[in-house]
Amino acid sequence: MNTQLPTPQSDANETPEVAPPIPTELALVTSSHTSGDMATAAIKYRFARLLTTTVALLAIIFGTPFLVQQIQYSLEYGRIIAKYDAAAIHIDSQSIKSISLASELVSYKVTPSVVHIHTSTTESGSRRSFQHPFAQSNLFPSRGQGSGVIVDAEGYIITNRHVIQGAEMIYVQLHDKTEQIAKVVGVDQLTDLALLKIQPTAMPAIEWSTAPTTNVGTMVWAIGSPFGLERTLTFGIVSATRRTAKVGTVYQEFLQTDVAINPGNSGGPLVNERGELVGINTAIVGDAYQGISFAVPSHVVKSVYERLKTSGVVSRGWLGLALEDVTAEHLAQRGTSQTGIDPIQGTVITSFPRGLSPAKAAGLLVGDILTRYNTTDILDTAHLIQLVGAQQNGEKVTIAYMRDGDPKVVSCILGLRPRE
């Protein structure tokens, strides 16, 4: 028989047990301790934030320049590498190779025609040797030496007059290292050119330019002996043409270039990309190269060469008149005007010398505006002087001119230019 034990029943009237109250003093201590911890934590938090902010500000202040520098360095490095990669790709292109190859070929073709010139005088006692310039007492010799170029297989050499001026003996060293004594065929003071003659040589003569003019921007090379350093090649472009009296005489009509020319280059050739002679290097601004150099153009050189070779002197035609460039005032005074944007061209007669004047004898008068010489339009006064000087005395020429607004033409026999 199962006996069921009764389930304990809680007394509804029984009071639950309650924790004994904390003493007042202990509660106050606990509360005070908790508040202190919170205050300390808040102070620490604020300090940490202040420290973090300070560090961040210091990092920004002192780290920003470094960061900017690193960014700039990275950008610059990127640009350098980009240029490097581009250069690596394009440096082998045909256009770049063609310029480099042109310089090499010009050197190969022209150098055998170039000579090195040394002179001796009584003052020097003996000629300068052809040893390397750095072995000489004068580190950079420039007096009594220069360059020249063979223009004829018979041994004719063109150089500058100032290279051989005052020399008693002229020594020419050829490209094959052989040496000859040269004689002077003739000189032309007005163009500062001289023609020398040596024995016929196997070294080739340079080719003359076949182009009637050399244009601004044309690539040109110079070969010569700057400071005695033989067979030096330099490169540049034609910067301007028809530079006249400001840097020489009206008969020189310089080509201006930016090719590096120094003492010793005088008399050497200026050539184009085909190795053809376009000028003789003659002058610089200052005592050493400063970015501007001048060369007598080949058409002037060839004219002087042919006349010196034929007669040993350069006789020039002469009209016998004084001139000045035409201005708008000249045109207005004479009932003539010029329209459009083209520059005013021509030259006006201002006076005649005493005595014989071929131009006056032909009927020209003061105030006439000369516009054409034979078949060539006259650009300015210097241009007409060059045209007349390029012809011999006794030649018959035709001159077109304006008088009181009317075009006229006259024929004239050139006289011989008086010696100055």
> How many CA atoms within 13 Å lie on the side-chain side of 316?
23
3-state secondary structure 243-308: ECCCCCCCCCCEEEECCCCCCCCCCCEEECCCCEEEEEEEEECCCCCCCCEEEEEHHHHHHHHHHH
Buried b (16+ CB within 10 A) or exposed e, 238-262: bbeeebbeeebbebbbbbbbbbbbb
**Confidence tier at 271 by pLDDT (50, 70, 90):** very high
Q: What is the CA radius of gyration of the chain?
A: 45
Closest to 142 (Cα-Cα) out of 119, 158, 123, 161: 119
Higher-scoring residue by pLDDT: 179, 337: 179
**Confidence tier at 339 by pLDDT (50, 70, 90):** very low
**Confidence tier at 412 by pLDDT (50, 70, 90):** very high
Does the pLDDT of residue 411 top 90, yes or no?
yes
Say which amino acid occupies 128.
Answer: R
pLDDT at position 122: 64
**Confidence tier at 127 by pLDDT (50, 70, 90):** very low
188 has which bridge partners? Answer: 193
Residue 328 CA to residue 348 CA, distance in Å, equals: 12
| Averaged confidence pLDDT in the chain | 81
Distances (CA, A) of 213 to 32, 257, 278, 301, 386: 108, 15, 9, 13, 15
**Confidence tier at 341 by pLDDT (50, 70, 90):** very low
Buried b (16+ CB within 10 A) or exposed e, 149-180: bbbeeebbbbbbbbbbeebeebbbbbbeeeeb
* Stretch 292-316: mean pLDDT: 92
pLDDT at position 27: 53
Does the pLDDT of residue 285 top 70, yes or no?
yes
Q: How far is CA 115 from the centre of its chain?
A: 25
β-pairing, 415-416 with 193-197? unpaired
**Catalytic positions, please?**
162, 192, 266
Q: Which of 15-29, 35-49, 166-180 has the lowest mean pLDDT?
A: 15-29
In the structure encoding, which two tokens stand for residue 35, read together? 């508040």
Does the pLDDT of residue 177 top 70, yes or no?
yes
1 by DSSP, 3-state: which?
Answer: coil
DSSP 112: G
In the structure encoding, which two tokens stand for residue 296, read together? 């007598």
Burial of 348 (0-12, 13-18, 19+ CB in 10 A): buried
Cβ–Cβ under 8 Å, residues 263 and 242: no
**Confidence tier at 139 by pLDDT (50, 70, 90):** very low
Residue 145 CB neighbour total at 10 angstroms? 23
Would the pTM of this model clear 0.85, i.e. be above it? Answer: no
